[in-house]
Amino acid sequence: MFTITQEKIKCPVNNCDKEPTGLHRLITHFRGAHIKGKDEKAIEEALAAIDSIKKDEVKKTLLKEFSEYGPEIDDADEGKVDARKCDGDDEQFIINQYLDSAICREERQYALFLANGLKKCNSLMKDMLELKNCEVLEAFEVLDVFYEATLMRDYWCRNRSKFNEKLRNFAKEKKKWGNQLSEHGREEKNHANYWAKKHPLACWMMNAKPDLAVLYKKNYNESPTLSFIECKYLSRVDNYYYEDDNNRLKCSQVELQELILKFLCNDLELKYSLENGEKHVIVNQGEVLIARFVSGSSEPDEMKVKNCERIIPITRLREIGY
């Protein structure tokens, strides 16, 4: 009988000759070598390779371990940062030059600067976001900027039963997932993570946290628009995966946030209060933008331009939002 705690186990990925001892070390190797920091194609190939494992005990455990993968639970970005080549030769460490030299590796810090600039309706900020072809540029007034927006969880708390009913129907319509979702029962008010028969898309939508949500008006229209801005420094635009014995679901980070916007504005029907709360108008669905922070005056590479990322030099960002 095969003993998973003692014998060497061959990694199932093609061209990988590693044979970790025991299942725990295989899982650690698989995550580090074939999941962390890899692009979408490499991750898909690695996950598909699990099916080639002949030992059922190992196959079953790996499928369970890697059935779900998403940026909210992934530490690949931090590992990617730690693996960077360190070629500095500073003999002194000057604290008031900390942000000038972009030593700070935390995207939240730069996202906060971006939020401050947007709240000021700064024209230079709009230029840096390269919004010439985006409706946000036409905004007459930025009404508010929500930092690390957890709108899904917050509105779930307002009316859990009604919210869950709408979310359940939305998830079933947008991403088919067998017949797992029940219509009623004890899960009526539960967070999507704890539904008795849950849907991966509903869980992802509830757990996602867009870096910035911008509420703005354009062309003097009394109905505002809601858009998301996802902020990136050294990390990548990620993907979500979920797999069980019968189904496999994939969703990009941008696609997921677009679905959240669609749900909030169209299905939940977010309103905006006018005239001292006596009149309410529907909030329009906006778009998802990617803001890429770069050190110094770096120019965007072809991949970032292809992915429509907005390139924002950190030195200029500080001038506006610090």
The per-residue pLDDT for range 8-51, each reduced to its tens digit, is 889 999 889 888 888 878 888 888 888 877 777 888 888 888 88
Domain extent at residue 130: 96-149+209-321
Q: Report how many domains make up the chain.
A: 2
What's the pLDDT score for residue 45?
A: 87
**Would you say residue 302 lies in a domain?**
yes
Q: Do 219 and 286 share a domain, yes or no?
A: yes
Residue 300 pLDDT exceeds 60:
no
**Would you say residue 202 lies in a domain?**
no
Q: Give me the residue label for tokens 């996202």.
A: 111
Q: Do 108 and 58 share a domain, yes or no?
A: no
Q: Do 246 and 295 share a domain, yes or no?
A: yes
Give the three-state DSSP class for 85: coil
Return mean pLDDT, the chain: 77
What's the pLDDT score for residue 2?
A: 38
Q: Do 109 and 214 share a domain, yes or no?
A: yes
Q: Do 218 and 288 share a domain, yes or no?
A: yes
Q: Do 30 and 110 share a domain, yes or no?
A: no
- State how far the Cα of 259 lies from the Cα of 82, in Å rounded to an integer: 32
Residue 133 pLDDT exceeds 60:
no
Choose the final residue of a domain: 24, 47, 66. Answer: 66
Q: Do 107 and 28 share a domain, yes or no?
A: no
Q: Do 233 and 284 share a domain, yes or no?
A: yes
What are the two backbone dihedrals, phi and then psi, of residue 270, each rounded to the nearest 5 degrees?
-55, 140
The per-residue pLDDT for range 161-210, each reduced to its tens digit, is 999 999 999 998 887 765 555 555 455 788 888 887 788 899 999 999 99
Give the three-state DSSP class for 116: helix
Q: Which residue has the higher pLDDT, 149 or 1?
A: 149
Q: Do 139 and 101 share a domain, yes or no?
A: yes
Q: Which of 183, 182, 280, 287 is nearest to 226 (CA)?
A: 287
Q: What would you report as the CA-atom Rg of the chain, rounded to the nearest whole angstrom?
A: 23
Q: Do 33 and 108 share a domain, yes or no?
A: no
Kindly give, in sequence order, each residue whose CB lies less than 8 Å from that of residue 91, ignoring residues fewer than 6 positions away.
none
**Would you say residue 157 lies in a domain?**
no
Amino acid at 90: D
**Would you say residue 24 lies in a domain?**
yes
Q: Do 299 and 243 share a domain, yes or no?
A: yes
Distance set, CA 197 to CA 155, 205, 268 (Å): 22, 16, 22
Strand partners of residue 76: none
Percentage with pLDDT > 90 across the chain: 22
Beta carbons of 213 and 151 less than 8 angstroms apart: yes
What's the pLDDT score for residue 303?
A: 47
What's the pLDDT score for residue 11?
A: 92
**Would you say residue 194 lies in a domain?**
no
pTM for this structure? 0.69
**Would you say residue 171 lies in a domain?**
no
Q: Which residue has the higher pLDDT, 273 or 5?
A: 273
**Would you say residue 102 lies in a domain?**
yes
Query: Looking at 28-32, 97-101, 171-175, 285-289, which range is the least confident one?
Result: 97-101
**Would you say residue 130 lies in a domain?**
yes
What's the pLDDT score for residue 301?
A: 52
What's the pLDDT score for residue 77?
A: 43
Kindly give, in sequence order, each residue whose CB lies less than 8 Å from that of residue 103, ignoring residues fewer than 6 positions away.
none
Q: Do 121 and 215 share a domain, yes or no?
A: yes
